[in-house]
């Protein structure tokens, strides 16, 4: 399969819109803490602009905090989905209701379509 068809197939399978979003992210695994730069986010996970430090155990959960403002953040537990080209994809395994609300609003504002954001949230809920 050519790269163009692979990209098209991956896009067709994607149920969740990826929102380009530049933010600082705080990550933690056990006693180890570090910062990263966010490239994009969706209801299913996020993409970082770097690979993980060597101290990180890929099979263990990572706690992520995305700083939206002084008073608002999105917190979730993630696992490593992939690492390549100096980027790391993280898949959300759990998220609290306040963080889901903030993330849904962020997606709604970036898509410009409340119904599309609601469809994505319904799709996420149906996966569980």
pLDDT of 101: 87
- Under 8 Å CB-to-CB from 58, ≥6 apart: which residues? 52, 79, 80
Q: Where does 13-127 sit in CATH, by number?
A: 2.40.10.220
Burial of 56 (0-12, 13-18, 19+ CB in 10 A): middle
Q: What are the structural domain ranges in the chain?
A: 13-127
Rounded to whole angstroms, how far apart are CA atoms 57 and 44?
21
pLDDT tens digit sequence for 47-76:
999 999 999 999 999 999 998 887 889 999
Rounded CA separation 111/34 (Å): 30
DSSP string, 16-57: S--EEEEEEEEEEETTEEEEEEEEEEETTEEEESSPPPTT--
Lowest mean pLDDT among 28-32, 41-45, 65-69, 115-119: 115-119
Q: How far apart are CA 103 and CA 19, in angstroms?
A: 10
Whole-structure pTM value: 0.76
Question: What confidence tier does 109 reach under pLDDT thresholds 50, 70, 90?
Answer: confident
């Amino acid at each position: 399969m050519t790269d163009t068809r692979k990209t098209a197939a991956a896009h067709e399978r994607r149920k969740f819109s990826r929102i380009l979003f530049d933010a600082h992210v705080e990550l933690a695994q056990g006693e180890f803490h570090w910062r990263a730069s966010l490239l994009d986010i969706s209801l299913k996970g996020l993409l970082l602009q770097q690979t993980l430090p060597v101290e990180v155990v890929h099979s263990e959960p990572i706690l992520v905090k995305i700083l939206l403002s002084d008073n608002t953040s999105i917190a979730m537990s993630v696992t490593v989905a992939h690492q390549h080209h100096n980027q790391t994809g993280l898949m959300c395994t759990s998220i609290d209701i306040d963080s889901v609300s903030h993330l849904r609003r962020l997606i709604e504002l970036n898509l410009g379509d409340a119904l599309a954001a609601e469809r994505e949230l319904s799709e996420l809920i149906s996966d569980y």
